[in-house]
Chains A and B, each alone.
Chain A
Amino acid sequence: MGEQILVVLQQEAGKVRHVALEALSLAQHLRPGQVTALTFGPGSESARDVLGRYGADRLVSLNHEMFASYSSDGFAEAVRQVENMVEASAIIFPATAWGKDLAPRVAGLLEAGLASDCTEITSDADGRLVAIRPVYAGKAFATVHIDSPVQTFSIRPNIQSVKETNRSAEPLSCPIELSAESFQSKVVEVRTQATDAVELTEAEIIVSGGRGMKGPENFKLLDDLAQALGAAVGSSRPVADEGWVPHSYHIGQTGKVVSPNVYFAVGISGAIQHLAGISGSKYIVAINSDSEAPIFKAANYGIVGNLFDVVPSVTKAVLALKAEQ
């Protein structure tokens, strides 16, 4: 079993994020039949169906009460032990807040090299994995070789294609030995920001506003367009700094990095730090009154015009299209 890939996943009540399915599909593609998924928390075995369907050959569910809430040191030590038992030569994490916290800790324990936030993983002639990852906020892409015996990776959400298979993951029990001392850092509360909106990093369509929006009250225009499109709303940094929108909206080099199918940049000039966060978008649509704005250089489609006229018109056109469908 030396060529196993261990896919380390977060679940909640048997539900997993889309990136979990991406990670499994990718692992199954790289090492067919050799994919072990690892989940944590009571009830984590209830994710078995969906994990199997998307590429897990085996499932380790650490459903002990001590894994009910996250602890970076406790979980990392558990991953280390599972890795030893299944003798995986590669580990894939999602590059979510959870995975980005856990992956380097596990890499440290295993003295393994880690490639973070990868957009591509392939297998070389010797069966070793090679990653491509954006660096300098997407201004360049690095091809990365990891030389340690165990290779570890985290993958950026919304990039890999997902493939359903008809497998069912076989449960695998892994006795873990952990004491309370391994759980120093403990999550005591999770405050969900009351919203049913799509998370930016997972959104297929994003409508994003910049300083051209003039004030917080005008974001209603973007909310309307977003609702018509089933999109999430984001922003440039100054707009979040001004408090027109929550900080969680801020996209760019020092904010969120997004990779939607379509990114609408509305009243955003297209500064290099903003572009850094959106370069993974498949299509960029710019709406700006200044035909010279740099955003048009990054865009696939653009409308030069006053956003206060253009945005409601786009909303109208989208609603008309949806009504036809």
Chain B
Amino acid sequence: MKILVMVKQVPDTATRIRVGGDGASIASDGIKWVINPYDEFAIEEALQIRERLHGEVVVVSVGPQRVEEAIRQTLAMGVDRGVHVKTDVALDSYQAAAALAAVARQETFDLILTGKQAVDDDAAQVGPLMSVLLEVPQVTVVLKLSINPDTQRLIAERELEGAIEVVELPYPAVITAQRGLNEPRYPTLPNIMKAKKKEIRVELLESLGIDVVPKVRITALTEPPARPVAKILTGDPLEAAEQLVNLLHHEAKVL
């Protein structure tokens, strides 16, 4: 089983986001960069599959120099090696998917795991786009995955609004991971030591031959409008509750 896990480095979810000087991207100072939380489920799943079925887990990440740190962390979790597609250019989802698909073609794979969405652009596109580019089937937002290596088929459970959908498909395939799929492990000290010696192959974006013109452009980024100062009620619960319901009914007109 050869598994590729696509990992994006994103601002920590607790980071305050401020609009940068260009008015179209975020101010990059003071940001703590972390592995996209959903990608951790993808990594854990890949490691568990390797424990059961043997093979290799390779992490691929597209981004600037700082991304190496994220790849190193995945190696400390137990990933075998990494590929870093280096670029300082901000790519759109299609370009990112094309770059990742180009690496996937070089590497070959049985399974590709991604997060269900990156918590910076919140696009939820790169997994399905890659699966189109690689001409393989997909399942997104997966909560449970079982693999039958004899028939080369997968059964995946995915989350819908108020329902679970069970999907069957052959692999090679692309799976996008949802929270609940597993409980990601922490790096252990021996693995952190070992990670230092593991290979991170660097690939320049320019050498992958992807279209340099994005299809999607962000022309402005704005911060959400501040909410008006809250009306705070205190004192006797019953009176406060009556006042609240009154306000919701007469002022907000939502009850």
Contacts and interface: CB of A to CB of B under 8 A. Distances in A.
Q: Which DSSP category, helix, strand, loop or mixed, fits chain B's interface?
A: mixed
Contacts of B216: 113-115, 144-147
Interface string B150-171: 0000010011111111111110
A185 B227 contact: no
Nearest to B240: A303
Interface stretch (B46-54, B60-68, B76-84, B229-237): B229-237
A147 B214 contact: yes
Interface stretch (B10-18, B184-192, B195-203): B10-18
Nearest to A272: B14
A138 B225 CA distance: 11
Nearest to B166: A189
Interface string A138-153: 1111111111100000
Contacts of A253: 13, 119
B62 to A, nearest CB: 17
Nearest to A298: B227
A244 interface: no
Given A136-B11, A317-B241, A104 B221 contact: no
Contact of A140 (B38, B97, B222, B238): B222
Contacts of B128: 72, 101, 104-105, 108
B227 A140 contact: no
B140 A317 contact: no
Given A187-B167, A261-B254, A305-B234, 13 more contacts: A72-B138, A97-B159, A113-B92, A135-B221, A140-B17, A145-B219, A188-B167, A192-B163, A262-B255, A300-B228, A301-B230, A317-B245, A320-B245
20 contacts: A104-B125, A104-B127, A105-B132, A112-B215, A113-B214, A140-B19, A143-B220, A143-B222, A144-B219, A190-B165, A192-B162, A193-B163, A276-B13, A283-B252, A285-B244, A296-B230, A300-B227, A304-B232, A313-B241, A321-B249
Interface of A: 70, 72-73, 76, 96-98, 100-101, 104-105, 107-109, 111-117, 133-148, 184-193, 195, 197, 199-202, 205, 229, 247-248, 250, 253-255, 261-262, 271-273, 276, 279, 282-286, 291, 296-306, 309-310, 313-314, 316-318, 320-321
Interface of B: 11, 13-14, 16-17, 19, 26, 37-38, 92-94, 97, 119-125, 127-129, 131-133, 136-141, 155, 158-170, 173, 179-180, 213-224, 227-228, 230-234, 237-238, 240-242, 244-245, 247-249, 252, 254-255
